[in-house]
Amino acid sequence: MDKALKLLGIRAHSAIELRNKLLKKDVSRQLVDEVIAECIRLNFIDDELFARDYAAELGWRGCGKYKIRANLRRKGISQDNIAKAMSDADKSEEENARRAMEFKLKTISREKDIRKKREKIYRFLAYRGFSGDIIKKLMTSAPELQNNSDYFE
């Protein structure tokens, strides 16, 4: 239990994530199951709350819904908890994408070719997990990226 509490003291973990870390520390599977059950009973582990907080954090760091969903799956979060977390994250996705785009525009400000600028922005936002619709919407509203109006047509 001490190892679990130490890990949970550093940051929140999902049940599966904590289980995997404890198993890597050569703790018996039966003891790990008991510790996880006790942590859940004491509300030290709450996968739904973890998923919401983690999704909000990733969104704030400029990740889109596809990347957030993939990271939550990787952390062992159930589909139900992912859906609940994503319902909150979807509300702020466009604002997160706008912030990420503004950051990227600063880093490529020397680029003169608008077509290359648009391609870099699109790749950057797509890699971060934003949907094509949101990317296109933001790019058509950004004055820095105007000139080739037929780019998406």
pTM of the model: 0.75
Q: pLDDT (tens digit, 9 = 90+) per residue, 29-58?
A: 999 999 999 999 999 999 999 999 999 999
**Segment 116-138, tens digit of pLDDT:** 999 999 999 999 999 999 999 99
Across 80-108, average pLDDT: 88
Instruction: Answer yes or no: are the C-beta atoms of 63 and 128 closer than 8 Å.
Output: yes
* Whole-number pLDDT of residue 152: 52
Q: Domains of the chain: which residue ranges?
A: 2-41, 47-91, 93-145
CA distance 94 to 141: 12
Contact 17, 75 (CB under 8 A): yes
pLDDT surpasses 70 at 153: no
Share of the chain above pLDDT 90, in %: 58
pLDDT, greater one: 97 or 3: 97
pLDDT score recorded for residue 88: 75
SS3 state at 153 = coil
pLDDT band, very low/low/confident/very high, at 71 (cuts 50, 70, 90) = very high
Is the Cβ–Cβ distance between 91 and 119 less than 8 Å? Answer: no
Q: Is it the case that residue 151 has pLDDT exceeding 90?
A: no
At residue 16, does pLDDT exceed 50?
A: yes
Question: If we measure between CA atoms, which residue out of 51, 50, 144, 137 comes closest to residue 93?
Answer: 137
pLDDT averaged over every residue in the chain: 88
Q: Report the pLDDT value the prediction gives residue 26, as an integer from 0 to 100.
A: 83
What pLDDT sits at residue 5? 87
Using alpha carbons only, what angle is made at residue 40 by residues 37 and 45, rounded to the nearest 5 degrees?
Answer: 130
